[in-house]
Structure 1
Amino acid sequence: MPVIDTHIHLFDINRPQGVPWPPKDNAVLYKTALPSRYRKLAEPHGIVGAIEVECSPWLEDNQWVLDVMAKEDIMVGTIGDLELEKPDFARNLERFRKNPLFLGIRYGNLWGRDFHARVSDPAFIAGIKRLADAGLTLDTANPNPLLTADLLRLTNAAPGLRLVIDHLPQLNPPTGAAARKAYEAGLAELGRNPNVFVKISEVLRRVDGRVPKDVAFYKDRLDHLFGVFGEDRVLFGSDWPNSDTWAPYGDVFGVVHEYFTAKGRAVAEKYFWRNSIRAYRWKPRNARQPRG
């Protein structure tokens, strides 16, 4: 079964300008991450294509990633970084969307940005509508308990927006009864929106100094998200190389592979590649990559 990894990061620590992430003092992550290194880790597990997700707020790094991917046909697209609320957003969007590998942007609680505050900004909402009209996808980052209400505001403002919620398994739901009820009601409403997808990524957790590799440890959380969003709107994403924080690529892949293959081949195919075509509208670049 072919696999499309919808979430990896690319960067080169040896560039003259350096990188904004990861930090130099992170011995696990501060190593150049390019497609050649990724292929060696991923291809043994059946990965035939990957989507890069931004890890830099620098405008020209959108172009740097596109230039890197041009020579690497395992890369089927990028989710870039543009600030939707800025006056130059429309110009920058038009510039990068001319490249068919530019599939959308990510905006969330990172790079000093406050997603919750932005959803009340008319300029931000105008940018969201422009992104949706362009047929591109919005990824969100670093989810918190306010996320469901904020995303509902976005989807109401731009009903045609394709939205991907990154790393939802890492979110700890609110503990208070009222907040928990509101969060779950919002999540259920998002679950009824056919344009909202969830990356079942960053599944592994560190507990008491160790990272469990047994799928049973994660089953309740995975069952809950699968129950809300269903088989048609879940996506595989490794979060490589950030995933090395928890475990090697094979272990990260192994947990979700065991969980989804247990549901049968048809469901596993949706998770591992079919749904990614609907979420991102990527196009095959070589014969090994599946056609929808």
Structure 2
Amino acid sequence: MNRRDFLAASAAAATLPLAPASAEDKPMLPIVDTHQHLWDLEKLKLAWFDPKTPEGKVLGHSFTPTEYAEATKGVGVVKAVYMEVDVVPEQQQAEADYIVELCESKKTPTCAAVVSGRPNSDGFEKYAKQFKGHKYVKGVRQVLHVKETPAGYALEEKFVKGIKLLGDLGLSFDLCVRPAELPDFVKLVDQCPNTRFILDHCGNANLKHTPAERDQWKRDMAEIAKKKNVVGKVSGFIASAPARGKWTVDDLAPVVNHTLDVFGPDRVMFGGDWPVCLLGVEKYADWPTALKTVVKDRPEEQQKKLFHDNAVTFYGL
């Protein structure tokens, strides 16, 4: 499913029905949000965004650090890693410059960034080399789960060369992919053993998958998790729920638990996917609260790794 269809189909997900607070309730663990989006539509043009679509009613305005601070108030977010927002290619440098300046200001939780890039583009080597050893830019992402991405794209020689370059530069690459193409990315990872990868959104697991599709996703996730240079991110799959108000913690648990089980407690991180998550939840807090409920029976040390420690280690925060 491409990003536009993914979002349009997912005016999704819902508010979590929460039990009344009790004295035994533990406070939310400190959070490093590894998937924070910000955009100013007066300055940036997003390649995927169409204000005429249903998601435009939710996302069709600017989302700034001020709004993020308000959205995460009281949730426990102590640091955030900016995630590129799929700007048009000619604005990639401007986006990177903006987020580096924000990190340097130290006025917000945003302390690191994954910037946009096209590994198979002619100018990619020059563009990427500026981030070697960068204090704030930790990696690159290209959104690949769009209909414009042809089958087999990630295995083309020029693309693979760009991904290998990232490893040489000490930069990671985020995999934002169509679930059915996970086997291609296993092959990509095998060809780039010196590059670190992050698999976004639990491999874009879809809550509307048929049992057969879910079984295939589980097998493919288990296979890519065998690759020790890949970490998983529990993030924006919540937007694939069939409709607002139609998901429960029990719907989320199989995806979260399988991801945690195959990657292990040391290789999974939480990502808020704000503001895109607002297509599926009424407020930011609903998503980490739901996840906290899913993992409540796991050891507290593992919960801390998921919400905080693994991100600090992986990104060197």
TM-score, normalised on structure 1? 0.85
Structure 1 residues 142-171: Cα deviation after superposition (integer angstroms, max 9, x where no partner): 432112x11111211111221111112642
Q: 1:233 aligns with which of 239, 255, 267?
A: 267
Q: RMSD across aligned C-alpha pairs, in angstroms?
A: 2.6
The reply on whether 1:266 has 2:296 as its aligned counterpart is no
Please give the residue correspondences for 1:21-36 in structure 2 after superposition, counting only pairs within 5 Å.
Answer: 22-25=49-52, 26-36=56-66
| Matching residue of 2:277 | 243
SS at match of 1:189: helix
| Matching residue of 1:80 | 115
| Cα 1:44/1:175, change in 2 over 3 Å | closer
Q: 2:92 aligns with which of 48, 59, 63?
A: 59
What is the rounded CA distance, in whole Å, between the counterparts of 1:262 and 1:91 in structure 2?
47
Please give the residue correspondences for 1:90-109 in structure 2 after superposition, counting only pairs within 5 Å.
Answer: 90-97=125-132, 99-109=134-144
The reply on whether 1:154 has 2:192 as its aligned counterpart is no
TM-score, normalised on structure 2? 0.79
| Matching residue of 1:70 | 104
Work out the percentage of aligned pairs sharing the same amino acid: 23
The reply on whether 1:255 has 2:290 as its aligned counterpart is yes
- How far does residue 188 in structure 1 lie from its aligned partner after superposition? 1.9
What is the rounded CA distance, in whole Å, between the counterparts of 1:127 and 1:52 in structure 2?
22
Unaligned runs of 5+ residues in structure 1 are 284-292
What is the rounded CA distance, in whole Å, between the counterparts of 1:117 and 1:253 in structure 2?
34
What is the rounded CA distance, in whole Å, between the counterparts of 2:276 and 2:209 in structure 1?
25
- How far does residue 96 in structure 1 lie from its aligned partner after superposition? 3.5
- How far does residue 204 in structure 1 lie from its aligned partner after superposition? 2.7
Q: Judge conservation of contact 1:12–1:19 (CA < 8 Å) in 2.
A: no
Equivalent pairs, count: 279
Q: Judge conservation of contact 1:206–1:212 (CA < 8 Å) in 2.
A: no
Q: 1:9 aligns with which of 26, 37, 44?
A: 37
Please give the residue correspondences for 1:150-229 in structure 2 after superposition, counting only pairs within 5 Å.
Answer: 150-168=184-202, 170-172=204-206, 184-205=218-239, 209-212=243-246, 214-229=248-263
What is the rounded CA distance, in whole Å, between the counterparts of 1:69 and 1:115 in structure 2?
35
Tell which deviates more after alignment, 96-105 or 136-145. 96-105
| Matching residue of 1:288 | none
SS at match of 1:220: helix
- How far does residue 221 in structure 1 lie from its aligned partner after superposition? 2.5
What is the rounded CA distance, in whole Å, between the counterparts of 2:306 and 2:241 in structure 1?
27
Structure 1 residues 192-247: Cα deviation after superposition (integer angstroms, max 9, x where no partner): 22221111112435656333463223222222222211211111001000011111
Higher relative contact order (CA 8 A, sep 6+): 2
Unaligned runs of 5+ residues in structure 2 are 1-28
Structure 1 residues 48-70: Cα deviation after superposition (integer angstroms, max 9, x where no partner): 01111111243222222222333
| Matching residue of 2:8 | none
Structure 1 residues 235-264: Cα deviation after superposition (integer angstroms, max 9, x where no partner): 100100001111110111210122223313
What is the rounded CA distance, in whole Å, between the counterparts of 1:107 and 1:163 in structure 2?
12
Please give the residue correspondences for 1:42-53 in structure 2 after superposition, counting only pairs within 5 Å.
Answer: 42-53=72-83
The reply on whether 1:143 has 2:178 as its aligned counterpart is yes
